[in-house]
A and B are shown apart, each in its own frame.
Chain A
Amino acid sequence: MKKTLNTITVILFTLIIFGFSAAFIITPDSDFSEDENRVLQTLPKFSFAALANGEYSSDMTDYFADQFPARDFFVGVKGVAENVLGRSENNGVLLGDDGQLAVRLFTAYKSRFERVEEIDYFYEENITISLDAVNAFAEKSELPLVTVLPPRTIDVAASAFDYPTDISDSLGALIASGLSDKAGYIDLFPIMRERYDSGEYVYMRTDHHWTSLGAYVTYCEIMKSFGMEDEIIPMERFSRETVEDFYGTTWSKAGYKFVPPDDIEIWSLGNEDDFITRCYASKMVKGEDGKPVKVKESYKEFSGWMNREYLDKKDKYAAFLDGTHNEQTVTLKSGEERETLLISKDSFANTLVPFLSQHFDLVILNLANKQADLSLAAEEYGCDKVLIVYNCGNLIENNNLALIK
């Protein structure tokens, strides 16, 4: 009996080790992981130089990890195993009621040289610096300003988890008390939480973004703050198109493969084709006098504000405003000029565009890519109003908001 068992042990072990090696060799390499939204390591080229400086071995290690067979399956197995011990948490993501996911652990930014990873606390000093920068801008600028700092999913969907809310609450309070009246701050913490608790689908379950409904709620608040309450377009006037099977970033991070996907809703008045979105890049060219001059040119433009190609991919949220660009404008094709709204933003603002573009010509600067010179842009485009949209996750994890001027 013992002898047989030992033999089986050896055979099984050999089968597993060589089975995976063989599977690794046989399965074709993939270049891109949609789930992780990143380029995968492919077979590194051998050179003695790369070997000597350690690059070859580190690439080889990555190659083996990135191209490992049944990668997704194993990630899912780990997600299930973590739940066996009753943790309802994997890779820093909480699993709550009705498949609600929320990132719990963030990277707390302290300074360029110091940050703490995988933590639920934040550095008050760093956030205060950001808030002070908004106050200073509000003081300096003569344009009406509205500031929206969308809360994180963990702040909004608190009731779906048995995770304590004291950190969320102190973050909300810190921001609310840290911004001056001139900043025009809209405190979404209580608004979104209340809507979520009453069962409204304001935030995604599998992604860190809000839904189109969440964006609409915010749009109404923004309009009120600008004193344009009367012009708010009622919800009923929008037709809604539903795109199914959206598995967001939180889902990818969590590894809970059994959590069902979100829907993406596209709200429309049917006049999308009246609008045009242009993407701009600046580059240095040689001027007439031989000195370098900055030239801004449009490198991409499309009708409306959506790139529908993304709706067939995993990263469906990127359909709004074609994902990430440094500088964009949304105007009427007819060339008719309206009031211009300058938006300093991260990706949360992308779902606000379908609403706001009905009222304003939009100039959109990506603060997440450190496009922070609002005064310059306001002057260049002749802006009339300013809106800041920067979510609390970003606020904790970097200091970009402190860069605005």
Chain B
Amino acid sequence: MVFSSLLFLFAFMAVTLLLYYIMPNNKLRNWVLFVLSLTFYGWGEPVYIVIMILSIAEAYFLGFFISKHKDSNIKRARFYLVLSLGLNLLALLFFKYCNFFIDNLRLIPGLSGLSPIEGLKLPIGISFYTFQIMSYTIDLYWGRTGLQRNFVAFGAYVTLFPQLIAGPIVRYRDVDDQLSERRENIDLFSSGVRRFITGVGKKVLIGDSVAALYEYFKATGEFEPTSLGAWMVMICYTLHIYYDFSGYSDMAIGLGRMFGFRFLENFNYPYISRSITEFWRRWHMSLGTWFKEYVYIPLGGNRGGKLKQLRNIFVVWFLTGFWHGASWNFLLWGVYFGVILIAEKFFLIKILEKLPKFVGHIYALLLIGFGWIIFSFTDAAAGIECFVALFGAGCESFTSPAVTYQVLRGLPLIIIGAIGATPYPKKLWDKLCTVDWTSVGAIRVDGREEPIVMSSESLSTRGKIFSVVGLLGSFAVLMLSVAYLVDSTFSPFLYFIF
């Protein structure tokens, strides 16, 4: 099930909220979250609930052994740690990467007889929940978190439907105490509602709309490749993936708050970065943190010399790319960023810092955009075609009338999307809503400038008005999103074909 569906909004969420708040205590509430999250997860593919429960059970039980031995017999503890991680990764490797390996092995002469496993479907969210489970096991071994004795609480952590399918990847130790003791309250719930609606709006109103533009420009390229079309493919995908993914994270964080959880942020205006290093501190932060904490630092991080650090960066980015999907283009995408990050670390950052700010912005946005081209084309030939078309190669003309038309029609949306990806709208809004303004401008009196001073009361009225407007606007966005969702299910059967 996805959040941006009518079934989720008006059936699943309604039932979950109702049952959750009927329950008198935290224990029962965890039960509600656990059971309903499994329903959420199994919707469409009930079989995968079994894999999910096995993964949870494995980590839960082996956790006892790790905890028991970690102070007395570190070797034993390590054995159970490796066993637990191994089992977890095995499931991930099997479901996500098995057929990729088989497909590539088949290219080796003599192994062409291998056949991919039929009907192997990727359990949704497996990349996310595997990493969440591992954070528990590893932190337990390191003594950064305590043993979770309650199976339902642990199960609720892993399956928690808000972040189950698309993150953020919540570390166990960040929510450990929230699992056993959390205080739901109106302020948190209300901020959750607003955050959730923001996410829905970002995904449904902007994300899906630019996705349609992206699909159009991508398809057009096949009939008549144009330079402008290729730039639009890149720009629209850049916006689409941000609004889709960060919108989903907003919904997750918002939903979490409605149930009393406080998750860490996952995005921090990534497209205002002035370097790739900065971009990866702002994009999918929970994944970056995970890799840094559980791969980069254990490998030695930047201790042990430049060469080792180089290796460590490379390993992390190879894995980051591969985590995103079992396909060569994701691997390439990871390595691409690995190389840029290494270059930045060793000399580029120093150069960039000396240049004017806008150079850094252009540099970062271009490299991010090129990255998204690699990311979005699983078909290498089509990806290369699109990339070279950016520079006019393979195009008969810069644009075609149809492409120009579509660009002009899409422009307002793209501009809104671009502005919305910066912190300025939010900053402006916060300014309008605050009550402690002292001066709103100046007026010329007898040739001298006199500040306009307003009494604090009228200013706070202004703040109040905007707060109310914000609240109403928020619900308008929700209803508009519902309209878009309804429309997307509205599929006239045209007797056109008859």
Contacts and interface: CB of A to CB of B under 8 A. Distances in A.
A105 B496 CA distance: 13
B47 A52 contact: yes
A272 B468 CA distance: 66
Interface size grouping (class) on chain B: 35 or more
A315 B3 CA distance: 35
Nearest to B470: A5
Given A1-B464, A21-B14, A121-B223, A249 B7 contact: no
Nearest to B468: A5
Contact of A36 (B400, B493, B497): B493
B439 interface: no
Given A75-B490, A78-B483, A85 B471 contact: no
Interface in A1-52: 1-3, 5-10, 12-14, 16-18, 20-21, 24, 35-38, 51-52
A173 interface: no
B496 A18 contact: no
B101 interface: no
A174 interface: no
Contact of A315 (B17, B191, B219, B495): B495
B489 A36 contact: no
B492 interface: yes
Interface string A231-262: 00000000000000000010011010000000
A398 B496 CA distance: 11
Summarize A's interface: helix, strand, loop or mixed: helix
A74 B486 contact: yes
Given A52-B46, A57-B44, A9 B193 contact: yes
Interface stretch (A159-167, A185-193, A286-294, A295-303): A159-167
A86 interface: yes
Interface string A82-126: 000111110100000000000001001000000011111101000
Given A1-B467, A37-B495, A118-B212, A81 B13 contact: no
A61 B484 CA distance: 16
A394 B187 CA distance: 57
B492 A37 contact: yes
Residue of A9, A64, A163 with most chain B CB atoms under a 10 A cut-off: A9
Nearest to B196: A13
Contacts of B496: 208, 249, 393-394, 397
A249 B495 CA distance: 8
B124 to A, nearest CB: 12
A64 B11 contact: yes
A85 B223 contact: no
9 nearest CB pairs, A to B: A164-B401, A65-B489, A6-B190, A38-B493, A74-B486, A121-B223, A77-B483, A78-B487, A74-B483
Interface of B: 5-7, 9-11, 13-14, 17-18, 43-47, 186-187, 189-191, 193-194, 212, 215-216, 219-220, 222-224, 400-402, 404-405, 409, 412-413, 464, 467-468, 471, 474-475, 478-480, 482-484, 486-487, 489-498
10 contacts: A6-B190, A12-B471, A21-B11, A54-B45, A60-B7, A64-B10, A64-B11, A75-B487, A121-B219, A323-B498
